[in-house]
Amino acid sequence: MPSYSPPVRDMKFLLHEVLDIEQYGDLPKFSEAPRDLADAILDEAAKFAEGVLQPLNQVGDQQGCVRHDDASVTTPPGFKDAFDQFVENGWPLLGAEAEFGGQDLPSVLGIAVSEMMSTANTAFAMYPGLTRGAVEAILAGGTPEQKEKYLHKMTSCEWGGTMNLTEPHCGTDLGLLKTRAVPQADGTYKISGQKIFISSGEHDLTDNIIHMVLARIEGAPSGTKGISLFIVPKVMVNDDGSLGERNGVSCGSIEHKMGIHGNSTCTMNFDDAKGYLIGEENKGLRLMFVMMNAARLGTGMQGLCQSEASYQNAVAYAKERIQGRSLTGPKNADGPADPIIVHPDVRRMLLESKSVTEGCRAFLYWTALHGDLEELSPDEKVREKGSDYMALLTPVIKAYLTDRGYHNATNAQQIYGGHGYIEEWGMSQFVRDARIGMIYEGANGVQALDLVGRKLAMHGGRPIMTFIGELDAFIAENGDDADLKPFIDGLGAARGDLNTATTWLMENSLSNFDNAGAASHEFLHLFALTALSYMWARMAKIALAKAGKEPFYATKIKTGAFFLSHVLPATALHLGKIEAGAENLMALDESEF
Amino acid sequence: MPSYSPPVRDMKFLLHEVLDIEQYGDLPKFSEAPRDLADAILDEAAKFAEGVLQPLNQVGDQQGCVRHDDASVTTPPGFKDAFDQFVENGWPLLGAEAEFGGQDLPSVLGIAVSEMMSTANTAFAMYPGLTRGAVEAILAGGTPEQKEKYLHKMTSCEWGGTMNLTEPHCGTDLGLLKTRAVPQADGTYKISGQKIFISSGEHDLTDNIIHMVLARIEGAPSGTKGISLFIVPKVMVNDDGSLGERNGVSCGSIEHKMGIHGNSTCTMNFDDAKGYLIGEENKGLRLMFVMMNAARLGTGMQGLCQSEASYQNAVAYAKERIQGRSLTGPKNADGPADPIIVHPDVRRMLLESKSVTEGCRAFLYWTALHGDLEELSPDEKVREKGSDYMALLTPVIKAYLTDRGYHNATNAQQIYGGHGYIEEWGMSQFVRDARIGMIYEGANGVQALDLVGRKLAMHGGRPIMTFIGELDAFIAENGDDADLKPFIDGLGAARGDLNTATTWLMENSLSNFDNAGAASHEFLHLFALTALSYMWARMAKIALAKAGKEPFYATKIKTGAFFLSHVLPATALHLGKIEAGAENLMALDESEF
């Protein structure tokens, strides 16, 4: 039976030491979260995640969700009770707006809390996660009346929320969608069509579910310019806030998925369901992208979560499993064999996971902090940089963290040998649950294309230039630090490869857009490794300064050293593949595959 | 619903053009398989694989095997009928010994047939696959009476066979095993203990199952020096060949696995089961390794199979799925969108799979050919080289092909987007089925250690020297071929990295064995890439010579060009990680993970 012990020490290291969020104590939101409160929240969240959510993770996988003949859906045993506690304890309100009952804490703190919940039980955490996405869309585009009507109950998760985008014939290309919205005399719309892959589409956790639905108003232009967004409540909400009759939306079936069985992923049927336009007619995609962008950082986080969860269990197993002997002589001479953690190749897999996971956590929190600064800083330049970074880094976080989450979970499973393949041991679930992160909220190839096709060029390249400039400043500032030299050298080399790749793209993409597409996956990974090397340099700087104070710091430096020698060198390979261009990719005719 | 069309053209290209097996027409076995017969066998096998086995692949996954209260096991619907056809058509006899009713064909032909069966339905193909492993052990260690008693029925697959090694507390380290064998007055043994993860352990496909069981004879030394191998029939076999009473061996449960659900992987309980010693007392491991070694090529092949199957379906989907537009302007202007195969990043995933799969197929068949030559050549040097190569290449084939099979299946699943995560589409099954190949028959880390720890040093390094010498000869021979130059250059660069890595290992492993362990995974992948670059150079040489004759050859050259630009360059990264040594892997104390 797998376990999870939230890495609170590492989280506090990042928040207080590396990012030093106390320096923003004068900003709104941050002023509400002084260090002692922040720490108390982290400690309590850890208890809830470990004590309440994690024990339900495997149950959720094995029992899944059940759709009944009346189209209602029951979540796995224990989920409803845990969800009630989750709501009663006010966890969903942490980062929510004060206007709607929230505590209005900074998202850099919120993401640490989310990480714990989602590591303990990803399928469970998706219910509030999707609800939060729907909240963001209503905040961005709703009328004051709509906000008042829905957001109080949604920020608290008394009601759930969903995102209804995908249809059988369209996912990435939403311009193809067919769901119809017919205007009614009272200003509402009748929505009809079928949506698939709807996470948390129907369940027994909340009294109501507010569906955010993309549809095409009768007569609207075809393609992406004719798509509108609608609020479609599962149960109609009366003007006094009480619940009315059931709306014409129902769960047609629960999808048979490879993983995240604890989340009810549904096909949703809309039969003349009453819908309320949110935002402007035919401008629905813009609002949906507000939700998507928020969701993408959260999806990246899920990769981190599976990485952490699977790593912790692999470590425990590698210490317990007695099998064979160390190559350099018995390490457990009194026992019948040594624990397998003595083997370099087992350590290779563990350290790949540990060093990348810790680097990714820093990268994620640092990015989330820029989201806070974009919103809260009084300094226009800081807000601009925050906005630039959020745009630039979101696709990288989404794709790299989920790619790595799957890779690391696979390695962790490998450490279990045959037991890793047997479901009772729980390692297969981490792999299966991790797999979806690379696919949903925009497949990772789409993220890579977003990065090279749009984000690099935005504002005349300002975001990437600012990013490289920040690396240069750090290198210049710390170039004389002898202890930090390996980290500065590693960062410098990665920065060089990234810069070369960026220049290559500028010079070769305009003449042939396929060069950008061909480079996109490699560029995203090169970018992420460079960002991680920056994170590792910053973490190592703090850890070196405090090396004698706590074993934690010495371990951090050793972990970073492994990152430098065994993970970071891949930047050169990515650069080489970028420079190889699109020619060999495009040479084959379709019929030759 | 996934499909499979066996790549018979590619198989014939390898057998007849690249490996030119007709040149061995004077050798035993080869003389029984002239080209027209070989081709007819391939064509018939393709029909059987595609028509009979593949349609049962998804059924096997979804319905799995069922254990009944009486401990009997039913295979998935359709398996029994297909198995009967498989036996009646004589497929298991193709490569079997004439003495026991077999057709005695070379294994290089047999492996092509096996590839088709296993690509169509891996879980099904494991039943005869394990039986063949048991046959090999009896051939290697059985008395004439034992061979006569069991092998006729086993070579034909009228009876099944299994390998019983693993116990709950021991897998890789068989020295820890506890299953007991108590000598009886009649020369037999009473076997008691529990085995786990026993593939094909109990099923309804055959009248009898001959279990090969590792156990420790009472009073035998502890560790690996006290392990013996036993024949334990499910149903006792009378001296006249008829079946007698049930033996004390039964299926305790069916394991809940991540994949290969169509194969009944069982926990097996031995309760005073009657067993017959095979080979010498306490020398059981040696015999078991005969089985294991044969099985390891077969396991590597399974990686190739999942790669091929998932690739074919991903190609079909990428051509059909209409979504978005090409970056360089519409390619399907009359339709609402372009097929996703227009996107470079989709092609990247497809071509990675295609180029590696075709390279791996060549590598596997070439290795199998050396197995034939080891056995059949009249030339002692050729036999020696065959033996050296089988030893050297088997761990590489096993680990690299399965690592790549999983990676490629994952990429193929990715191309399906959200549908890839839904079980009905079949892509998840390829990934889940592929996952086991990296684990069983010796986890891939164990293969890597076998390669660097034993195979490199055997016979004073003769196998690796012979291998590098063969590459050098090919480079020298073809250095003036301008058309082939990119392939020769790629091979030369890879060969250089391999040679540097080998020298580094020789210089740094003896002083610190952990350097070998730390390098092992990287070395195995570097070795495999070098071997694949040799295979691609050989394939390209033929294809260039025949380029105008058939579109097949032009495609082959383009696919090889992608391999050179986008896959092969990873050798430098592997070398860099090898040269980084063990230090950063071993620096952390256990408590620091």
The pLDDT tens digits of the residues spanning B486-526 come to 999 999 999 999 999 999 999 999 899 999 999 999 999 99
Chain-chain contact of B166 with A421 (C-beta, under 8 angstroms): no
Chain-chain contact of B348 with A518 (C-beta, under 8 angstroms): yes
- The stretch B514-539 carries a mean pLDDT of 98
Q: How many CB atoms lie within 10 A of CB B447?
A: 27
The closest alpha carbon to A8, from A101, A87, A98, A116, belongs to A116
CATH number belonging to domain A8-66+74-144:
1.10.540.10
Phi, psi of B258 (to 5 degrees): -65, -30
The closest alpha carbon to B536, from B491, B506, B582, B584, belongs to B491
pLDDT value of position B195: 97
Chain-chain contact of A551 with B444 (C-beta, under 8 angstroms): no
Q: Which residue does chain A place closest to B445, by CA atoms?
A: A345
CB neighbour burial string for A357-396, b if at least 16 within 10 angstroms, e if fewer: bbbbbbbbbbbbbbbbbbbbbeeeeebbbbbbbbbbbbbb
B5, B163, B348: best to mutate for the A interface, most A CBs within 10 A: B348
Identify all chain B residues contacting A254, using CB atoms and an 8 Å cutoff: none
Q: What angle do CA A296, A278, A249 make, to 5 degrees?
A: 85
pLDDT value of position B291: 79
Chain-chain contact of B345 with A448 (C-beta, under 8 angstroms): yes
Q: Which residue does chain A place closest to B258, by CA atoms?
A: A421
Question: Do the Cβ atoms of B227 and B215 come closer than 8 Å?
Answer: yes
Chain-chain contact of B414 with A256 (C-beta, under 8 angstroms): no
CA–CA min distance B415, chain A (Å): 9
B160-282 classified as CATH 3.30.2320.50: no
Chain-chain contact of A587 with B561 (C-beta, under 8 angstroms): yes
pLDDT value of position B289: 85
B450, B584, B586: best to mutate for the A interface, most A CBs within 10 A: B584
* Pair of tokens at residue A440: 């949903």
Chain-chain contact of B435 with A417 (C-beta, under 8 angstroms): no
- Active-site choice (B115, B136, B308, B441): B441
Q: What angle do CA A278, A282, A285 make, to 5 degrees?
A: 75
A321, A331, A340, A345: best to mutate for the B interface, most B CBs within 10 A: A345
Indicate the angle between helix axes B462-478 and B485-509, nearest 10 degrees.
Answer: 160
pLDDT value of position A86: 98
| Integer Cα distance of A471 and A465 in angstroms | 10
* Pair of tokens at residue B62: 């979804």
Phi, psi of B214 (to 5 degrees): -85, 130
DSSP 8-state class, residue B422: B
Q: Which residue does chain B place closest to A436, by CA atoms?
A: B421
Torsion, Cα B87 B88 B94 B98, to 10 degrees, reads: 100
Q: Which residue does chain B place closest to A259, by CA atoms?
A: B421
Q: How many CB atoms lie within 10 A of CB B2?
A: 18
CB-count exposure of residue B416 (10 Å: 0-12, 13-18, 19+): buried
CA–CA min distance A102, chain B (Å): 34
pLDDT value of position B187: 97
Size of interface A-B (CB pairs under 8 A): 250
pLDDT in tens, B187-242: 999 999 999 999 999 999 999 999 999 999 999 999 999 999 999 999 999 999 99
pLDDT value of position B292: 82
The closest alpha carbon to B253, from B273, B270, B268, B234, belongs to B268
Nearest CB to B440; choose among A349, A418, A423: A418
SS3 A235: strand
CB-count exposure of residue A1 (10 Å: 0-12, 13-18, 19+): exposed
Least-confidence region, from A279-293, B5-19, B260-274: A279-293
Identify all chain B residues contacting A351, using CB atoms and an 8 Å cutoff: 584-585, 588
- Segment-wise mean pLDDT, segments of 10 residues, chain A, 593 residues: 97 98 97 96 98 98 98 98 98 95 96 98 97 94 97 98 95 92 98 97 98 97 95 97 97 98 98 98 91 87 98 98 94 95 98 98 98 97 98 98 98 98 98 98 96 96 98 97 98 98 96 96 98 98 95 98 98 98 98 98
CA–CA min distance B180, chain A (Å): 18
| Integer Cα distance of B46 and B114 in angstroms | 10
Question: Do the Cβ atoms of B408 and B306 come closer than 8 Å?
Answer: yes
Chain-chain contact of A569 with B573 (C-beta, under 8 angstroms): yes
In angstroms and rounded to an integer, the radius of gyration of the C-alpha atoms of chain B is 24
Identify all chain A residues contacting B170, using CB atoms and an 8 Å cutoff: 323
Query: What is the residue whose two structure tokens read 């390692």?
Result: A427
DSSP 8-state class, residue A101: T
pLDDT in tens, B282-331: 999 999 887 787 789 999 999 999 999 999 999 999 999 999 999 999 99
